[in-house]
Structure 1
Amino acid sequence: MFKYQAPENCLSNKTILVTGAGSGIGKSAAIHYAKYGATVILLGKTVEKLEQVYDEIIAAGFAEPAIVPLDMKGATAQNYKDMVNTIISQFGQINGALLNASILGELTPFTQIAQQTWDDVMQVNVNAQMQLAQALIPAMVQSDAASLVFTTSGVGNKGRAFWGPYSVSKFATEGMMQLIADEYEGSSLRCNAINPGGTKTKMRASAFPAEDKTVLPEADEIMPLYLYLMSDDSVGENGKRINAQQ
């Protein structure tokens, strides 16, 4: 799966939602999904960035994507339900979702974590993921083979000093993934989590400002796993935390 050679059009006739699609890993995943035949729903908080991704997909001759501008810090459960209903009415189905959007917060000693920072990180990285997954799952189980993919981290199953709310939020993400995977074992829905590892992104740069960025892979380089988990070749993979870099 780490050197997965995606067959041409392996995502044909699939509708896939990508959160945090305006930049970084989300942008790369959205473009790759479109390249392999999917109709992609681009969700993010910055319209200009989403429009740039939209333009890149159109310029490449791929299927026209849709844009959903939504700030997950302020969105409600009803917002997500309305969004899913709109997707179903326009496209008829949701076959895949990459829940990629998250925020870092601040790296600080545990006793100095600001309550607002904690609340913001938990809202975007945990509460919004739960509400969005709750809205998506009833639609996704109608598909013959649906894939729900969460995004975790190296600090998501082993705590690291100073990573506070972000680390805790990713522990919660992995727990949520495992719970959903277990509840839907044997159904048409599979659920897994990807740990992208150190990748050249804006979030990584803010966490490690002094790091030599030339040694980090670009987001495009870790896409084999992202494509594998969305393709029907991964049917049977369920409840797993998988590192994109091996």
Structure 2
Amino acid sequence: MFDYEIKENSLHNKVILVTGAGDGIGKQAAKTYAQLGATVILLGRTVDKLEKVYDEIVEAGHPEPAIVPLDMKGATKQNYIDLVNTIVDQFGKLDGALLNASILGELTPFTTIHEQTFDDVMQVNVKAQMLISQALIPALVESKGSLVFTSSGVGNKGRAYWGPYSMSKFATESMMELIADEYEDTGLRTNAINPGGTKTPMRATAYPAEDPATVATPEQIMPLYVYLMSDDSKEINGQTIKAQPQRK
């Protein structure tokens, strides 16, 4: 899967939701999925960023995407139910969802973690992921589709100062494994991607002194993102997979 050969139109006619689609990995995944023939639902909190991604996809001649402005910090269970109902009503199905949106919070010693920071990170990175997954699962079971979470290297091995973000990614991997186990006989496959060090705004915030040239670009890690949305990954379930297996 790490040397997966992306084929032209390998996602032809698929409908795929991407959260955090306005920037970084989510933006690149949305553009890549569209390039390969998918109709992409762009979900994010910043309309201007989503519109730029929309314009880039349309100008490239790919299937017209849809924009869903939604702040996962304040979204409710009903918001997610309405989202999925609208997607199915408008497009007839949902084949995949990349849950990419998350927030870093702040890097700080454990004893100085601010309660509000903890609550915000858990709201976006854990509770919102649970609520949107609950809404997505019936449609994805119907299509025998793919649900992909986003983890991190600090999601299975705690690291000093990474506090709420690390805890949230441990929870993400647990959530993925629970869903994968519960739905293993339905055709729905559920996995998580650890993207590794990638040139994104979040990475720059976490590592301000790092040379961006030393880390992968979002485009370079796309083979795994495409593989897990393609029919070639139908037998893969319940795994957290590194997009850059060579990196520790």
Where 2:73 maps in the other structure, the secondary structure is coil
How far apart in 1 are the matches of 2:70 and 2:104?
18
How far apart in 2 are the matches of 1:138 and 1:213?
40
Match of 2:211 in 1: 212
Match of 1:90 in 2: 90
Per-residue CA deviations over 1:33-86 (Å, capped at 9, x if unaligned) read 001110000000000000000000001100000000000000000000001111
How far apart in 2 are the matches of 1:74 and 1:121?
12
Per-residue CA deviations over 1:80-117 (Å, capped at 9, x if unaligned) read 00011110110010100000000000100111000000
Match of 2:190 in 1: 191
Structure 1: gaps of 5 or more residues: none
Where 1:42 maps in the other structure, the secondary structure is strand
How far apart in 1 are the matches of 2:55 and 2:13?
21
How far apart in 2 are the matches of 1:208 and 1:6?
31
Give RMSD over aligned pairs. 0.5
- Residue 127 (structure 1) aligned with residue 134 (structure 2): no
Structure 1's consecutive aligned runs of 4 or more residues displaced over 6 angstroms after TM superposition are none
TM-score between both structures, scaled by the size of structure 1: 0.99
1:88 maps to a residue whose letter is V
Match of 1:227 in 2: 226
Paired residues in the alignment total 245
2:5 maps to a residue whose letter is Q
Where 1:142 maps in the other structure, the secondary structure is helix
Q: How does 1:1-246 map to 2 (within 5 A)?
A: 1-143=1-143, 145-246=144-245
Deviation of residue 212 (structure 1)?
1.3
Deviation of residue 156 (structure 1)?
0.1
Task: Give identity over the alignment, percent.
Answer: 72
Deviation of residue 13 (structure 1)?
1.4
How far apart in 1 are the matches of 2:198 and 2:58?
26
1:177 maps to a residue whose letter is M
Deviation of residue 7 (structure 1)?
1.7
2:35 maps to a residue whose letter is K
How far apart in 2 are the matches of 1:198 and 1:238?
24
